[in-house]
């Protein structure tokens, strides 16, 4: 029998200065049951390992950087966990309050068929108004659907509606939880990208359920440069096509039209005051980011047609843990 109700697993790599805030928020979680915290570091050189080694209440597992894999390393964490449930954070995802973990677990307790739970992201205070708005709208969208989903909600729709399948497959390891007993038969796939959404597809297709916990909140957001956004969009599109068959902006001419529409929106779109004032600089950056996203998606959807040396330069994902 497991010692803890839940474990929190956090992969780390050069995570200073964010990791101390994340760890403190995790250790401050208020729960009626015990939980453990496991950090898996893959070759940090900025003091992350030394910081984690000195903490009480955190178990550190160290692996060489070349052994890191998005699914592989998380599988290592689940295997090491002495708990029935395993929650995941990334080292830059900070629980918003002391009830984050309890709320994730509560969502899983609605039914034993729930294999995984994902929670909400909100942008950090310093994020741009557009980033705040995008995250708000994305996660508000899940409230238009049942909080617990599975393929048998509408079997025919699952077969014919790609958008519905995407909704059922959405899952984010920046803020998630899985049932270890189900993981034993359906572990994370050892892939370079989208291990979380591939796992969600696998559990959905195996007949298990997935839940959304709107009140399990983490702060998590990025302000990417044009090049970073282009590369991330390329990786997203390439791997969604490779693993799911989804084609994001595959045709150049419609992609160019979309870029024009998004640039127009960047300068015309109203932003709710609660997200902050959208300045001209914000709008220029927004236009550039939207161009980068569509360009990256188009290139990624056509990656087989590109020379290997170009795809190697475009891809950012393989470099994330080799820096």
- The average pLDDT across 62-67 equals 94
Least confident of 78-92, 164-178, 239-253: 239-253
Confidence of residue 26 (pLDDT cuts 50, 70, 90): very high
Nearest 10 degrees: Cα torsion 119, 65, 12, 62 = 110
Residue 317's pLDDT is 66
Structural contact between residues 58 and 37, judged by C-beta atoms closer than 8 angstroms: yes
Confidence of residue 179 (pLDDT cuts 50, 70, 90): very high
Give percent helix, percent strand, percent coil of the chain, each to the nearest 5.
50, 20, 35
Confidence of residue 194 (pLDDT cuts 50, 70, 90): confident
Confidence of residue 319 (pLDDT cuts 50, 70, 90): very low
Return the closest-CA partner of residue 10 out of 121, 230, 306, 21: 21
Q: What is the three-class DSSP state of 213? A: strand
pTM listed for this prediction: 0.91
Q: What is the three-class DSSP state of 175? A: strand
- E strands in 132-245: 148-149, 175-179, 209-219
Which residue intervals of 36-99 are DSSP H helices?
48-53, 70-80
Buried-state track 101-139, b at ≥16 Cβ within 10 A, e below 16: bbbbbebbeeeeebbbbbbbbbbeeebbbbbbbbbbeeb
- The average pLDDT across 30-36 equals 97
Confidence of residue 231 (pLDDT cuts 50, 70, 90): very high
Instruction: Encode pLDDT of 195-222 as tens digits.
Output: 999 999 999 999 999 999 999 999 999 9
- The average pLDDT across 232-254 equals 87
Confidence of residue 310 (pLDDT cuts 50, 70, 90): confident
- What is the token pair recorded at 23? 């760890």
Statement: residue 135 has pLDDT above 60? yes
Residue 322's pLDDT is 40
Least confident of 3-12, 81-90, 238-247, 257-266: 238-247
Return the closest-CA partner of residue 219 out of 81, 59, 89, 87: 89
Confidence of residue 239 (pLDDT cuts 50, 70, 90): confident
CA distance 230 to 130: 17
CA distance 37 to 74: 13
Instruction: Encode pLDDT of 77-121 as tens digits.
Output: 999 999 999 999 999 999 999 999 999 999 999 999 999 999 999
Statement: residue 320 has pLDDT above 50? no
Residue 318's pLDDT is 56
- The average pLDDT across 145-171 equals 94
Mean pLDDT of the chain: 93
Torsions phi, psi of 74, nearest 5?
-70, -35
């Amino acid at each position: 029998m497991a010692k803890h109700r839940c474990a929190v697993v956090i992969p780390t790599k050069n995570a200073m200065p964010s990791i101390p805030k994340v760890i403190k928020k995790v250790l401050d979680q208020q729960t009626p049951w015990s939980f453990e915290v496991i950090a898996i570091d893959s070759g940090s050189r900025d003091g992350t390992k030394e910081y984690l080694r000195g903490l009480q209440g955190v178990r550190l597992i160290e692996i060489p950087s070349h052994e890191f894999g998005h699914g592989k390393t998380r599988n290592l964490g689940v295997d090491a966990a002495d708990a029935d449930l395993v929650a995941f954070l990334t080292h830059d995802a900070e629980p918003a309050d002391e009830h984050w973990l309890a709320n994730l677990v509560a969502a899983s307790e609605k039914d034993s068929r729930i294999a995984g739970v994902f929670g909400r992201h909100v942008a950090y205070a310093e994020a741009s108004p557009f980033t705040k708005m995008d995250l708000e709208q994305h996660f508000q969208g899940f409230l238009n659907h049942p909080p617990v989903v599975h393929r048998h909600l509408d079997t025919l729709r699952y077969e014919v509606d790609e958008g519905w399948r995407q909704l059922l497959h959405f899952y984010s390891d920046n803020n998630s939880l899985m049932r270890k007993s189900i993981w034993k038969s359906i572990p994370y796939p050892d892939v370079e990208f989208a291990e979380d959404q591939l796992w969600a597809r696998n559990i959905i297709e195996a007949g298990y359920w997935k839940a959304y916990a709107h009140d399990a909140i983490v702060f998590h957001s990025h302000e990417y440069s044009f090049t970073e956004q282009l590369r991330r969009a390329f990786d997203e599109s390439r791997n969604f096509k490779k693993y799911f068959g989804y084609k994001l902006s595959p045709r150049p001419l419609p992609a160019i039209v979309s870029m024009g529409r998004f640039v127009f929106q960047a300068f015309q779109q109203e932003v709710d005051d609660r997200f902050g004032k959208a300045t001209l600089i914000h709008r220029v950056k927004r236009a550039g980011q939207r161009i980068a996203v569509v360009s990256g998606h188009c290139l990624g959807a056509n990656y087989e047609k590109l020379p290997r040396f170009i795809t190697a330069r475009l891809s950012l994902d393989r470099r994330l843990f080799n820096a």
